């Protein structure tokens, strides 16, 4: 019976210069590179270098690329293996494969053994269906034994990557094994700009493409998603037979990465489209007028994925801490769509379009109550005990909260949501003209960007409602509105 594992031996040509962002992780790993180049020097100095480095963080943040760059900088062989390939149906195969990989790497040390998706074999022992004797646990035990058996400063380094550091067996991260844990997080705005510029090399862009502005539009994007934005832009450029990548093409690429391709062929009645326009305009009005809320970047009524339209709202600057006022403003902006529907159509004719908004608003409100101490229940953390790591810590949870406290939490969440909704209703009622104007422009142009929204909200003195829209079915564009406003100003003079 063969014991060959899917082992890839790579002579990596990647360097740290190929890794945009990730400044801190690179700094942490740089000394490891020097160790791989000169292991004897560290041994003579009496230093013990880590046997293993664990790279944790969300998917697509560059963990594998960082490991390859480490091997490239050190100019050592790079052994790539997926943790899931160790385990098969036959008992004992996983342990044999671990021995095979490490034996091969020892022959060529200094070298790097990279184990991708470590959680496939590294979850906490004793939690599997087969108790302590399943194949996965035997494989993990063998890995631990092999790591313990490696001579210090031998030049053999283990690097592992996982998205779930929280479910790993504690024995993996004790000193002498994966004793250096490095978090490779999502890039901030400056790092996103660096990543975009890296992947944009060799491609032609129009003069209006400013990467710092694109970075502002992509908060929460991973490095892989940003690479995909550039790739989608190139594909769209070829499809449209354009000579350069324009800002419009990049906007479409971002939308594709976020929500999928536009469903322009979907048949939508005029009444439903108008309802969607009012809904998205409601989000925009609340976002513009409520202090502390996120800035409206883009509104569209073009269907994508399961959404009939969407409203891209982001903070002016990237933030890591939020005040209670800011969170309440964010919830109010989420409730702006439902508030607009109630005002225009009445409570009996509200639509299902607010489903995702309600979900997001409820999630924030619940965290305000149970995690942030921003309710009348006080600064107390309420939580549920996690279930089995084998089940992903999502099943078999047990609550440590009494039924009474759980009920009080629900009441506090409801109070926050209703307070935010009332703010949204009040703001929209006070700005009906702006609501109608944004709705009308959406029906005309389908998509409005932040510059147009800012110009409308700040620089145009809005004419009376009846002069903007004489008929609800009438459609006008931004240029017509500007011309109308200028004439009114001339008449005043």
Q: Is 269 annotated as a binding residue?
A: no
- Return d(Cα 101, Cα 142) in angstroms, integer: 12
Annotated catalytic residue within 146, 280, 341, 342: 280
Q: What is the dihedral of CA 211, 27, 161, 76, to 10 degrees?
A: 110
Q: Is 38 exposed, middle or buried (0-12, 13-18, 19+ CB in 10 A)?
A: middle
Q: Is 175 annotated as a binding residue?
A: no
Question: Which pair of structure tokens corresponds to residue 471?
Answer: 């008929």
Q: Is 59 annotated as a binding residue?
A: yes
Q: What is the dihedral of CA 200, 295, 314, 272, to 10 degrees?
A: -100
Q: Is 110 annotated as a binding residue?
A: no
- Return d(Cα 222, Cα 333) in angstroms, integer: 25
To the query of whether residue 27 is one of the catalytic residues in this protein, the response is no
- Return d(Cα 78, Cα 314) in angstroms, integer: 41
Pairing mode of beta strands 78-82, 156-162: unpaired
- Return d(Cα 284, Cα 219) in angstroms, integer: 19
Largest CA-CA distance found in the chain, in angstroms, rounded:
94
List, in order, residues 6 or more apart from 45 with CB less than 8 Å away.
Answer: none
- Return d(Cα 71, Cα 10) in angstroms, integer: 9
Q: Is 62 annotated as a binding residue?
A: yes
Q: Is 58 annotated as a binding residue?
A: yes
- Return d(Cα 83, Cα 117) in angstroms, integer: 6
- Return d(Cα 400, Cα 406) in angstroms, integer: 10
Q: Is 279 annotated as a binding residue?
A: yes
Annotated binding site for ATP: 57-64
Annotated binding site: 57-64, 279, 283, 357
Active-site residue numbers?
Answer: 280
Annotated binding site for Zn(2+): 279, 283, 357
């Amino acid at each position: 019976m063969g014991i060959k594992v899917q082992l890839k031996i790579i002579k990596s040509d990647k360097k740290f210069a190929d890794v945009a962002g990730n400044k801190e992780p690179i700094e942490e790993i740089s000394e490891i590179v020097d160790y791989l180049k000169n292991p004897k020097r560290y041994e003579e100095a009496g230093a013990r270098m880590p046997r293993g480095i664990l790279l944790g963080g969300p998917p697509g943040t560059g963990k594998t690329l960082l490991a390859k760059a480490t091997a490239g900088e050190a100019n050592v062989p790079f052994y790539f293996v997926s943790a899931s390939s160790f385990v098969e149906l036959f008992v004992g195969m996983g342990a044999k494969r671990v021995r095979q990989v490490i034996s091969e790497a020892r022959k060529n040390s200094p070298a790097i053994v990279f184990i991708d998706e470590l959680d496939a074999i590294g979850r906490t022992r004793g939690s599997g269906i087969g108790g302590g004797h399943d194949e996965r646990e035997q494989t993990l035990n063998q890995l631990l034994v092999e790591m313990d058996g490696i001579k210090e400063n031998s030049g053999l380094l283990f690097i592992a990557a996982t998205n779930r550091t929280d479910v790993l067996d504690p024995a993996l991260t004790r000193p002498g094994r994966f004793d250096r844990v490095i978090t490779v997080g999502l890039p901030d705005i400056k790092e996103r700009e660096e990543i975009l510029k890296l992947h944009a090399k060799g491609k032609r862009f129009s003069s209006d493409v400013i990467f710092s502005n694109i970075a502002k539009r992509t908060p929460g994007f991973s490095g892989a998603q940003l690479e995909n934005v550039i790739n989608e832009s190139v594909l769209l450029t070829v499809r449209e037979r354009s000579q350069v990548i324009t800002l419009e093409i990049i906007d479409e690429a971002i939308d594709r990465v976020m929500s999928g391709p536009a469903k322009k062929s979907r048949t939508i009645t005029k009444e439903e489209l108008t309802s969607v326009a009012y809904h998205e305009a409601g989000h925009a009005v609340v976002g513009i007028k409520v202090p502390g809320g996120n800035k409206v970047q883009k509104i569209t009524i073009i269907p994508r994925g399961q959404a009939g339209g969407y409203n891209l709202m982001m903070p002016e600057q990237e933030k890591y801490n939020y005040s209670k006022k800011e969170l309440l403003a964010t919830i109010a902006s989420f409730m702006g769509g439902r508030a607009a529907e109630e005002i225009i159509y009445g409570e009996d004719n509200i639509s299902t379009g607010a489903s995702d908004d309600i979900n997001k608003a409820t999630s924030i409100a619940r965290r305000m109550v149970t995690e942030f101490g921003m309710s009348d229940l006080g600064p107390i953390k309420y939580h549920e005990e996690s279930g089995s790591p084998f089940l992903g810590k999502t099943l078999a949870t047990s609550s440590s909260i009494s039924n009474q406290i759980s009920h009080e939490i629900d009441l506090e969440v409801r109070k926050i949501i209703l307070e935010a909704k009332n703010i949204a209703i009040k703001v929209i009622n006070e700005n009906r003209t702006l609501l109608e104007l944004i709705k009308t422009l959406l029906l005309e142009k389908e998509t409005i960007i932040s510059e147009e929204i800012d110009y409308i909200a700040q620089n145009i003195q809005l004419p009376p409602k009846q002069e903007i829209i004489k008929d609800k079915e009438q459609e006008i564009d931004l240029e017509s509105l500007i011309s109308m406003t200028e004439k009114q100003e001339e008449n005043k003079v």
